Amino acid sequence: MKKISLSCFIAVVALCVFSGCSPKQPENDYTWLKQGIETAALQLKFTVAEIGDSIRLPRSIWTGYDTDFLCHQLDKKQLTDKDSARLKPIHDNLGSRRYCFSIYDWTSGFFPGNLWLAYQLTGDESLRESAVKFTNHLYPLREYKGTHDIGFMMNCSYGNANRLSPADSVRSALIQTADNLCGRFNPEIGCIRSWNFGKWNFPVIIDNMMNLDLLFYATRLTGDDKYKELALTHARTTMKNHFRDDYSSYHVVSYNNDGTVEKKCTHQGKSDASSWARGQAWGLYGYTSCYRESKDVQFLRQAENIASLIMRRVKTEDAVPLWDYDAPDTPQTPRDASAAAITASALIELSTLVEDGQAYMEYAGKLLKSLSSDGYLAKPGTNRGFILMHSTGSLPNGSEIDTPLNYADYYYLEALLRYMQVKEIDYKHI
């Protein structure tokens, strides 16, 4: 496939986005929504054109960091090898697109998922064709058993593929992956093991709540409740051990073989006792999904309590949180747009599951408008083709600090889609 020059692409974008041929605005002004969708579609097409025929999956942009800056963020006098993996890219890489190291990267499913969601939002067939192409790259993952993240990797890619372009091979790949995820469940502990690395005995991270959706999907595909029941058992154990009295969560809880807790700590937050922003969003999203699937009120209460925590503790004017709620409150402290996008998507769904969800919908709308503003939404042709700016991946490990992230884009697109569905907005009539 021929690459298109950046200057030509920007010229085309300017004509598409800023021409005066837009349809008449409805009574409610959804200009921000239209701009977000159109920018997303253009950025994804630009990225596909840049990648060409190579098998590469965009993840973020390479960024460096200053050691003094990290020390200040983590409230430490100095960093040790234990504190930071020091993933400093070589100077020549700074500012360039960072790709997944392979299809086994935990973020590999998000770019195909972004293409599927953009296709659903716009109906653009070229996006569907690209989604099929990049989803097919992940087919070997159906055999992989090495991490809980196979839920992210396959549900965001193959799960969307099955919704929007179903095929027997897609369905069987999802079921096989769900079986592999179930294989990581320990009945004595009552949880799915998250990682195979580290010194923990049996680590479970709050992120794992997101991978339960693959198991819920497998129950719908097969009619077999074993997937759902296993997922709900994991959720109950996590609810018991991961959360503090104020409903903030630890990042990592490791278990002994008898099910007792070995350790509660963090791997990506400011400290073991801090509230890592994305972790709180993962919990909100996961328990909202659990209530949707089970109608068990304990999961609804958990989701509502986490939502209350988030809305109470995030103090930024635009509601996009700092990377950790306990990080230094300074202009230099990085935000995490990914946490905002996940929260927005979860709150929109939560708003549909309660009697009066207006407060959740309004907060989600504020988040989406912030993310769709010039402060976070990239200008077409910039940001190496990513949609959102200003996310933070793993600050304590010196990785992906104040940079775009493919999963921030994914949950932003999902939140836009959910927003439109609740508001009954047709993209063609915006």
For the annotated catalytic residues, the residue numbers are: 149, 207
Burial readout 359-374 (b: 16 or more C-beta within 10 A, e: otherwise): ebbebbbbbbebbbee
Please state whether 52 falls in left (phi above 0), alpha (psi between -120 and 50) or beta: left
Structure tokens at 265: 């700590």
User: Roughly what angle, to the nearest 10 degrees, separates helices 297-313 and 337-351?
Assistant: 140
Q: Residue 380: which residues within 8 A CB-CB, separation 6 or more?
A: 9, 10, 13, 14, 17, 39, 42, 43, 46
CB atoms within 10 A of CB 313: 15
Q: How far apart, in Å, are the Cα atoms of 246 and each of 250, 296, 305, 376?
A: 12, 21, 8, 30
Counting every residue written for the chain, the total comes to 430
Q: Residue 275: which residues within 8 A CB-CB, separation 6 or more?
A: 248, 249, 269, 309, 313, 324, 325, 326
Give CA–CA dist 183/148, Å, rounded: 10
